[in-house]
Amino acid sequence: TELLAKRHIAGAGLDVYADEPVINEKLRSLSNVVLLPHIGSATIEGRLQMGDKVIINVQTFWDGHTPPDRVIEAML
């Protein structure tokens, strides 16, 4: 929250909250943060795209390659 408030991080879109269902008031007040309920991706299209990405990532991994959508520590 502090990094967002000081603009060390330009912005964030959050689909999960640490204290669900209570939303951190400081996050709610920041103009560079978009907050969605945890069901923000619950559309048929969104779920189909997630499934496609999972299949591609698993197939790529089992073929001995780096999955395209992996999260690496340097990105965190």
pLDDT tens readout for residues 19-69: 666 777 888 899 999 887 777 677 899 889 999 999 999 999 999 998 888
Q: Which residue has the tokens 């400081």?
A: 26
Whether residues 50 and 63 share a domain: the answer is yes
Q: In this model, does residue 76 exceed pLDDT 70?
A: no
What integer pLDDT is reported at residue 59 of this predicted model? 95
Cis amide leading into 37 (omega within 30): no
Whether residues 48 and 70 share a domain: the answer is yes
For 43, which DSSP code?
Answer: S
Name residue 59's beta-bridge partners.
none
Q: In this model, does residue 73 exceed pLDDT 70?
A: no
Q: What angle do CA 25, 74, 11 make, to 5 degrees?
A: 30
What integer pLDDT is reported at residue 26 of this predicted model? 87
Whether residues 47 and 34 share a domain: the answer is no
Whether residues 36 and 8 share a domain: the answer is yes
Number of domains into which the chain is organized = 2
What integer pLDDT is reported at residue 57 of this predicted model? 92
What's this model's pTM, rounded to 2 decimal places? 0.46
> Which range of residues forms the domain containing residue 51?
41-76
